Amino acid sequence: MATAAMPTRDDFAAMLNQSLGGENEGFEGRVVKGTVTAIENDLAVIDVGLKSEGRVPLREFAAPGQKAEIKVGDEVEVYVDRVENHQGEAMLSRDRARREAAWDKLEAEYAAGNRVEGVIFGRVKGGFTVDLNGAVAFLPGSQVDIRPVRDVTPLMDIPQPFQILKMDRRRGNIVVSRRAILEETRAEQRSGLILSLAEGQVVDGVVKNITDYGAFVDLGGIDGLLHVTDISYKRVNHPSEMINIGDTVRVQIVRINRETQRISLGMKQLETDPWEGAGAKYPVDGVFRGRVTNITEYGAFVELEPGIEGLVHVSEMSWTKKNVHPGKIVSTSQEVDVAVIEVDEEKRRISLGLKQAQANPWAAFAEKHPIGSTVEGEVKNATEFGLFIGLEGDVDGMVHMSDIAWGVSGEEALNLHHKGETVQAQVLDVDVEKERISLGMKQLERGGVAAGGGGAGAGSGVSKNEVVTVTVLEVRDGGLEVQVGDDGATGFIKRADLGRDRDEQRPERYQVGQKFDAMVIGFDRSKKPNFSVKAMQIAEEKQAVAQYGSSDSGASLGDILGEALKQKNS
């Protein structure tokens, strides 16, 4: 039985609990204050009022990368993990104390949306670890900076602000962002900087990024877009042709949208506009040398000088090559001579012609080959109405099917020649404006009109409705080729024009060299006369009736014609 002089074990335990201010177990799991009583090597001995002291590593009293600043007599907060371990010492932790205190503070800051300070001290999969004054948070790699950072070493072990994105105390999970702080700071800087800028102002900037459509230039905290069309007055296919990332460039502020905080920049605006006075510098019909910069289906662009480009439309590319892609006539970077067709300074457009700077092959042909001259060429193509002959100067002439051969129908005449055959023809007409050359092949046949002499029409010495004596030069199935006198104009009498009666319309009735009378009834396209015996017979009949009376007077038509013939022979 216990007495006051001899207390039992239970009495002693009760007195110990009373001296500690409560149950020993009440210390466990709590943050309490203690006093540093000694520093032993890398451990701090701390008395928290329990029956035994505890030891805490010095590193727990220092921030990552820093040295612990603690000495004997300092009062510190520690977390009591266990009142007594197997060695009879209290199990204390400064890290747990700091973490518990940090969590309380972080929850308050997170609720208020405030920034917190922390230190990046380690790498983990997908990001980094951050010490938030005792609590460890996760910093994703995408949240380190506004742009990807290759080396994070310079950012480690440095106190800096972070924004808490998410936290869960039960799971001990905290996610923070450094990027959010930078973006917020940048937005504040942008707002202040954009107020200090004005349209038309000239500033220096650094090229940060280049795309197909332009470059982004850092103006000292705010980016502006330098569009590819505003880099230079001359054609720029890609910004990298003129500038590189990291270059310092002088630009003019073209436009500012303060609502969207977008800034448009220009470099060419600081240069002299080459289009000023372009009309006087490049007058219409003037010929200038330029360089082909771009080729499209509808034409080619030619640079006359940096900043001034003109379009050569496909229709102005060549005198002779029609419906051909411009790329088959010129090539990129080729230097060519072009003629100015039209200049519009206001619209900054200039129309050019490639063929106008070259000699017109049609005019050159007409000058070298007058009407009546003989040319030679290859049959390029046959159509339903004639043959196309390739001539010198890369021009074509056409032989109408009626001018291929005498006494042969059009379709039959077309079959007389084939593609690739070399033939001779006579120049009948040249229309330079319409780019047409008319040729004739039958005109070169035996007895044909030679160039410069014995011409048809006025030059042949015969006129329409005139009756002349002709000599048979050749007998054909379709008629006779004849000549006036012995050295006059040549022409043709069709089978149907050899007489009124069918028996008379047989060419075989005639022989070469035979002479007879015929009437000039017209001229073909080469001014060559056409003759008709039938027309002459009809005209003589009408004249006889008019002179000797009609059949109503009692005289027969035979009597009238007989009398007329007698008068003619007398």
Same domain, 437 and 465: no
Mean pLDDT to the nearest integer, 301-327: 89
Give which of 106, 247, 252 is closest to 165, Cα–Cα. Answer: 106
Same domain, 333 and 400: no
Same domain, 166 and 203: no
Same domain, 434 and 496: no
Q: Is 370 exposed, middle or buried (0-12, 13-18, 19+ CB in 10 A)?
A: exposed
Give which of 359, 414, 433, 353 is closest to 392, Cα–Cα. Answer: 359
Same domain, 438 and 365: yes
Q: Which two tokens stand for residue 191?
A: 């707002």
Q: Is 452 exposed, middle or buried (0-12, 13-18, 19+ CB in 10 A)?
A: exposed
Q: Which residue has the tokens 């982004």?
A: 216
Same domain, 332 and 374: no
Which of these ranges, 364-368, 527-531, 565-569, has the smallest mean pLDDT? 565-569
- Asked if residue 469 belongs to a domain, the reply is yes
- Asked if residue 412 belongs to a domain, the reply is yes
Same domain, 334 and 393: no
Structural domain harbouring 88? 25-98
Provide the pLDDT for residue 456.
38
Provide the pLDDT for residue 459.
43
Which of 182, 205, 221 is a domain's end point? Answer: 182
- Asked if residue 570 belongs to a domain, the reply is no
pLDDT by residue (tens digit) across 339-371?
Answer: 999 999 888 899 999 988 888 888 888 889 998
- Asked if residue 384 belongs to a domain, the reply is yes
Q: How confident is the model at residue 267 (pLDDT cuts 50, 70, 90)?
A: very high
Which of these ranges, 35-39, 432-436, 471-475, 555-559, has the smallest mean pLDDT? 555-559
Which of these ranges, 162-176, 203-217, 405-419, has the smallest mean pLDDT? 405-419
Q: Which two tokens stand for residue 265?
A: 């920049």
Which of these ranges, 224-238, 457-471, 516-530, has the smallest mean pLDDT? 457-471
Sheet holding 54-57, edge to edge: 54-57, 43-47, 30-40, 75-82, 91-93
Provide the pLDDT for residue 330.
92
- Asked if residue 319 belongs to a domain, the reply is yes
pLDDT by residue (tens digit) across 417-463?
Answer: 888 889 999 999 988 888 889 998 888 875 444 433 333 344 456 78
- Asked if residue 521 belongs to a domain, the reply is yes
- Asked if residue 454 belongs to a domain, the reply is no
- Asked if residue 17 belongs to a domain, the reply is no
Mean pLDDT to the nearest integer, 503-532: 86
User: Does the pLDDT of residue 277 top 90, yes or no?
Assistant: no
Residues 6 or more apart whose CB falls under 8 angstroms from that of 375 comprise 369, 389, 391, 392, 397, 424, 425, 426, 427, 439
CATH code at 208? 2.40.50.140
Same domain, 309 and 351: yes
Q: Which residue has the tokens 């990001």?
A: 127
Which of 340, 357, 374 is a domain's end point? Answer: 357
User: Does the pLDDT of residue 161 top 90, yes or no?
Assistant: yes
Same domain, 425 and 374: yes
Q: How confident is the model at residue 198 (pLDDT cuts 50, 70, 90)?
A: confident
- Between CA 363 and CA 369 the distance in angstroms is 10
Considering its fold, how many domains does the chain have in total? 6
Same domain, 470 and 424: no
pLDDT by residue (tens digit) across 83-136?
Answer: 666 665 767 767 677 777 778 888 888 988 899 999 999 999 999 999 988 788
Provide the pLDDT for residue 548.
62
Residues 6 or more apart whose CB falls under 8 angstroms from that of 71 comprise 36, 39
Give which of 189, 330, 199 is closest to 253, Cα–Cα. Answer: 199
pLDDT by residue (tens digit) across 481-500?
Answer: 888 877 778 888 999 999 98
Pairing of strands 395-400, 436-440: parallel
Residues 6 or more apart whose CB falls under 8 angstroms from that of 115 comprise 109, 161, 162, 163, 181
Provide the pLDDT for residue 540.
86
Same domain, 174 and 130: yes
- Between CA 229 and CA 472 the distance in angstroms is 79
Same domain, 287 and 306: yes
Which of 125, 157, 182 is a domain's end point? Answer: 182
